[in-house]
Structure 1
């Protein structure tokens, strides 16, 4: 259990914090005493999330921001300076994605994803990092994906951008460590969100097929990711830097024959023979 005052007096900026995993992360930070700044493009959802979070922590501020636009990112952090005078934690959670065969991609579609996922993460890290380096203290946590190193059909822009974020995490972690700034990344597996249910497993057979590939035999919850981000944003992880932490129920270890073995009932039959 995290102490309710673990982040008291600190300020956290969360991109893509209006809904889903980002909203859960913001809630976890607020519940431990941090003031939270939410940055996303959907102003109405952002404002609603800020109202909800105000009941959990000292203060929640909504700042509509397109992180793909460097001038808007600069304005975001100037607002943070004006309102709080510091930034202790940055969570780069905002993302963009679509599934499309690589040979049908256009430069416009490629750029749209890379601008948000990689460039946006860099712009936010640059603004936060400058402030953290001056104060000689800070934590940055980036959200990545396993296909950044495994690859995935139809996800070339996102996979490439996420791979860039992994490299950026390690590079900034090495470069800024001497200034007391730690940079880590979280790699979630299949997380049960409304968007996932709509896009990844809209039908029951799809859900069961995906579950068969997860040794834990369940999808992750938003809180599974939020708690890990909170840990990396806290003093409890003070010796972790430049690391990518996977939270996927063992999915990345259970590829290959595991789904087929389960579907064929091989393990169950072997257990019966032993009994």
Structure 2
């Protein structure tokens, strides 16, 4: 007898994860495999992707490594084509590839600003467009935005904040275009600070300033963000589209 937990299963589905070589993206790939999906792993560095692929196959799922530069529209088209060639379908896209840059706006190099927006916003658009062309009804796109697309930052991060705010807007528009006509749901998550290597490089003072506005007063675990992605990727969120789920410990609620 089926239960509500079955709505979170992804058996027989294929998920594409960008930025899957490390950090959040690697965790998302493993979580999707744990839920039953075969996973297409995309990032620029093949070696890191192979390590994640090994974990996916240990879970009994199939993995495909596709080195991809998401800032190149043709590379994103090739990624979608490779997924279909290997697995016959694309059901889920997790747009996770992203970079950050911290600098006062007046002194920020234009090339640095452009690079952040090209990866975080343009890259998500190119990947979504490529995958939407081969996705069928019931598919799901999950864009990984940030709480800094919703609230101000302690540090000067104009490029990162604007790219993530843009990604939230892109999520609404693509959902409006594709949900009814193509049956593809498009949502986003806006994570707060997560226990990753990037946080480990941040000073305790700076992290404390960021967490001052967090109702839960702590960073998130990888698994807590994994669960949010799995929810939006799976049939469990079948009546949700065009939404951004803040997974930030209450920071954006202030």
Do they fold alike, i.e. is TM over 0.5? yes
| Over 6 Å off, 4+ runs | none
Give runs of aligned pairs for residues 26-41 of structure 1, distance below 5 A: 26-41=29-44
**Shift in CA distance, 166/105, structure 1 to aligned 2, threshold 3 Å:** same
Partner residue, 2:239: 239
Q: RCO higher in 1 or 2 (8 Å CA, sep ≥ 6)?
A: 2
Give runs of aligned pairs for residues 154-193 of structure 1, distance below 5 A: 154-178=156-180, 179-193=182-196
Distance 1:207 1:144 in 2: 19
Structure 2 unmatched ranges of 5 or more = none
**Shift in CA distance, 55/64, structure 1 to aligned 2, threshold 3 Å:** same
Count, aligned residues? 249
Q: Deviations over 1:158-201 (max 9, x none)?
A: 11111211111001111111121100000001111111111x3x
Partner residue, 1:264: none
Partner residue, 1:220: 220
**Contact persistence 1:23–1:49 (CA under 8 A):** yes
**Contact persistence 1:30–1:53 (CA under 8 A):** yes
Q: What SS does the aligned partner of 1:58 have?
A: coil
TM-score between the two structures when normalised by the length of structure 1: 0.85
Partner residue, 2:127: 124
Partner residue, 1:102: 105
**Contact persistence 1:3–1:32 (CA under 8 A):** no
**Contact persistence 1:35–1:57 (CA under 8 A):** no
**Contact persistence 2:98–2:119 (CA under 8 A):** yes
Q: Deviations over 1:30-75 (max 9, x none)?
A: 0011000110112111111111111124211111111111121121
Distance 2:72 2:147 in 1: 26
User: What is the RMSD of the two structures over their aligned residues, measured on CA atoms?
Assistant: 1.8
Q: Deviations over 1:66-113 (max 9, x none)?
A: 111112112111111210111000000010111011111232112111
Partner residue, 1:111: 114
Could you say which structure has the larger radius of gyration? 1
Structure 1 unmatched ranges of 5 or more = 255-275
Q: Which residue of 3, 19, 25 maps to 1:16?
A: 19
Q: Structure 1 residue 55 and structure 2 residue 58: aligned?
A: yes
**Shift in CA distance, 23/141, structure 1 to aligned 2, threshold 3 Å:** same
**Shift in CA distance, 27/2, structure 1 to aligned 2, threshold 3 Å:** farther
Cα deviation, residue 209, structure 1: 4.3
Distance 2:78 2:210 in 1: 41
**Contact persistence 2:147–2:248 (CA under 8 A):** no
